[in-house]
Structures are given as C-alpha cells and as structure tokens.
Amino acid sequence: MISFLLSIGALILGYFTYGKLMERIFGVDKDRETPAVRLRDDVDFMTLPTWKVFLIQFLNIAGLGPIFGAIAGAMFGPAAFLWIVLGSIFAGAVHDYFSGMLSIRHDGLSISEVVGIYLGPTAKQFMRLFSVVLLIFVGTVFLVGPAKIIDGMTGNIWNVWIWVAIILVYYVLSTLLPIDKLISKLYPIFGVAMLLMAIGLVIALFFGDYNIPELVPANLRNMTNDPEATPLFPILFITIACGAISGFHATQSPLMARCMKNETLGRKIFYGTMVTEGIVALIWAAAAMTFFGNVEGLNGAMIANNNNAAWAANEISLNMLGQIGGVLALLGIVAAPITSGDTAFRSARLILSDIFKSNQKKIVNRLLISLPLFVIAFVLTQIDFGIIWRYFAWSNQTLAMIVLWTITAYLIYENKAYWVTLLPAIFMTMVCSTYILIAPEGFQLPNDISYIGGTLITLTITIAFWVYTAQKKKVFVGV
C-alpha cells in the first residue's frame, strides 16, 4: 500500500513540478488568441468551459486504455507501477502537452501536419496515411467490439449487426455535428463515471482485505508465467500504453486545441489529463494484483480466460464495487470504447480536412469527407481482426515515438531544452524497434538478437535525426 500511495503522490507532484517546467520551456502566451477564438466556426473551433475540455480530453485519451492495459501490465508485477509513474511524468504527459500546444500554435492543425512542419514533407505524407489508417482501424474495432458486448449483456435479443448499425449511427452524428451538440454533453458524464469507478476501487482497496505488493527490489522482476516468452523489456512498455504514453493521444489533442480559450490552460488540459490517466491506470493495476490474491493469481486467472482483460475488469468491478460497480462497469467497458471510436472518426475527418483544405463549416463538406470513412469501416467489419489487432499496440507506440522526435526537432529549432523529449524519444525508439523484432506478430527473433537489432535501429534513427535537424535548422523559421 505504501508504494501505491507514493506512486500516486509522485504523479501529482510531477504535475506541479515537471509539468510546470514543460510549460516554462514551451513559453505560453496568455495574451495570444487561440484557434478557438481566432478561427471560430461553431463546428470544430469554439471555446468550451475548461472543465468540459478537461473531461472530454480525459475520455478522448483514456477509453479502455488505463483499464485493460493496466490489467494486462499488472501481470508483470509491481514493475508496472514504476513504468506508469515514470512513463506518465517524463514521457506521456510531455508528449501530450507539447503535441497539444503545437497544435494550438499552428491553428489547431492535426498531428500529421505538425509533423510535416518539423520533420519535412516525406514524414508528413507518411504520417497522413499512418494516422488516418490507424484511426479508421480504431473506429472499426470499437464499432464491432462494443456491439458484441452489448449483444451478450442483453441476452442476444437482437442480432449483433443491429447494435453495429445503432453504434454506427451514433458515430455518424458525433463526427458530423458541432462538438458542443453531442460530444460536449455526453463525454463529461462518461468521464465522471470512469473517475468515480477509480475512486470506488481506491476505497475498496483501503477498507477491504487486500494486500497491494510493494515496490521492493525482490518484486522488480518479470512475474509473468513465462518471462522468456514475454520479456519485461519491451513487452511491458507496449502493453501499458495509455497509462504511460500513447501515440493515439496526439491524434486526439487537436480536437481540444480547437476548443481552448487560453494557452495557459494547456498544462491542465494536456499534462493534467495524462497524469489523471496515470493515476487511473495505477488504481486498476493495483486492483488487478490484489483482487485475484496476488500477481501469480492474476496470471493464472488471465491465462484461464484467454488473457481477456474485459472479463477481469468486469470481475473486479462487480465484486469490489457491487451493484454500483456493475453500472459503472457497463459505462466503462461499453461506453469507453464507443467514445474512443467516435473521436477516432472525428479526428480522421479533421486530418483529411487539413489535407484537402476543406472548410468544415458546411455540413455537406463534413459529409463528403466522412462518408468514405464509414463505408471503409463497415467493409472492414467483415474481416477477422484477431491477428491485425495485435499490431495496434506497436503502431500506437510507434506513433508516440514519431511525435516525440517531432517535438524534439521543434525544441532544437527554437533553441530550447530539447533533452526533455530527446531522451524519451530514444527510449521509445528502442522499445518499438525491439518489440517488432521479438514479438510473435513481428519477426520472432531470439531475445538477444532482437536487443542488438533494436539498438542498431535506434542508433541509425538517432543519427539520421541529428543530420536532418542540423541541416534544417540553418533555414528554419521559428513559430
């Protein structure tokens, strides 16, 4: 329990200290008009109350990530606590803050366009394709997945495709309607529900007969059943993404960058929501390690249920929170993926509108861009995503890696403290390159060869980055 409380305290302290440092390095301008004010169109660009922006951003970036990822990551033991704390403070929150603030400084542009400004046209074209495909993929999976869950919860009274159709209609509306008509009204409710569920778990952990393992040297090891098949590095750092660092966040931040009324709110909105998500991930990881008796019990239960984190989350909620937990679990396990799906489609629309310079004030323009997205998504629902889905975690962290390199380039060009993103960029490059070499869905190379290969790839990317930025800095015009 002591390590758990210290971990939460460290995250809160990180917000007030390291978060403040990030704000100082960026250099917020309280007198500078934000895109929400300067480019208001009452569709995507408009000011919203700060508390709503916070809750929308929190749910945008969270979804099921800090629940399912934390449960799966808890199978490694208390080392998960360490990654959540250090990852959130020094990587995830930094990634989210600078990607959001750079979007604000560039008229609310999508992350692909921001990458292009600092890493060049080739990187921009790659990111356009990469991010749109990733977002359509997320939207599709969170179209079918929740439909199947609801169908099961309702006793199969309707065909699963009826639920798919209902969710798809909601996705269409949330993608096309102005952000204050649907998203800003529903998201705060779901965001509060997720926070209440986390608070309820903390109360249960405190007053129940639970023993949270401590962060002591004996526990800082790989506690999975087969450490050789699931090495702590890099598997843990891919498994826990949204609770530590996630590239998906960079696709979501521009939505709120277009709704903030002042730059000074950036630390609260971007850094603060990531820290909040880290706390939620800590709580779920602690609950998973204790509810099943211990870490070994968690591993046994997960293996017996095909590593189904949704099952584990439902068991934890119902047994630790009772009937209220059942309602909150419904909101979390069903509503959370749906809210990730709808903003995925909305983000894809914004990226495509940035690419084609399409004015989104007219609904016909929004429809022309969005319709192909939904057609593609519906076609993809006919495909078995069992194998493809495993690549999402790696793709997500690869996106985070690219964004970290982008922010580093910005800081270099501006003669600012670039080390704050350089170090996590190098680390995440090592994680992503090693993972794809070692993972079953990757090249399945032996562990030692994968580590060597990951190191060589990281060195190559780092050297190429320094050569590129050194050349571009001579002609770069600062923002």
- Residue carrying the six token digits 């004010």: 37
Q: Which residues contact 107 (CB under 8 A, 6 or more apart)?
A: 35, 38, 39
- Is the per-residue pLDDT at 387 higher than 60? no
The H or E element that residue 48 is part of is: none
Q: Which two tokens stand for residue 199?
A: 């608070």
User: Tens digits of per-residue pLDDT, 320-362?
Assistant: 888 776 677 667 677 777 888 888 999 999 999 999 999 999 9
- Residue (of 192, 171, 178) closest to 52 by Cα position: 192
Residue 277, domain member (yes or no)? yes
CATH of the domain at 5: 1.10.4160
Cα(162)–Cα(392) distance, rounded to whole angstroms?
A: 26
Residue 460, domain member (yes or no)? no
Please give the distance of CA 116 from its chain centroid, rounded to a whole number. 21
Residue 227, domain member (yes or no)? yes
User: Tens digits of per-residue pLDDT, 160-217?
Assistant: 889 888 999 999 999 999 999 989 998 888 888 888 888 888 998 988 888 899 988 8
pTM attached to this predicted model: 0.94
CA angle 344, 353, 143 (to 5 degrees): 20
Residue 272, domain member (yes or no)? yes
Fill in the DSSP letter of residue 213.
P
Per the structure, the count of domains in the chain is: 1
Number of C-beta neighbours around residue 315 at 10 A: 17
Range of the domain at 308: 1-402
Cα(131)–Cα(150) distance, rounded to whole angstroms?
A: 28
Residue 351, domain member (yes or no)? yes
Residue 244, domain member (yes or no)? yes
User: Tens digits of per-residue pLDDT, 36-76?
Assistant: 999 999 999 999 999 999 999 998 888 777 888 899 999 99
User: Tens digits of per-residue pLDDT, 440-467?
Assistant: 888 999 999 999 999 999 999 999 999 9
Residue 269, domain member (yes or no)? yes
pLDDT at 345: 93
Computed over every residue of the chain, the mean pLDDT equals 90
- Is the per-residue pLDDT at 242 higher than 90? no
Residue 467, domain member (yes or no)? no
pLDDT at 386: 54
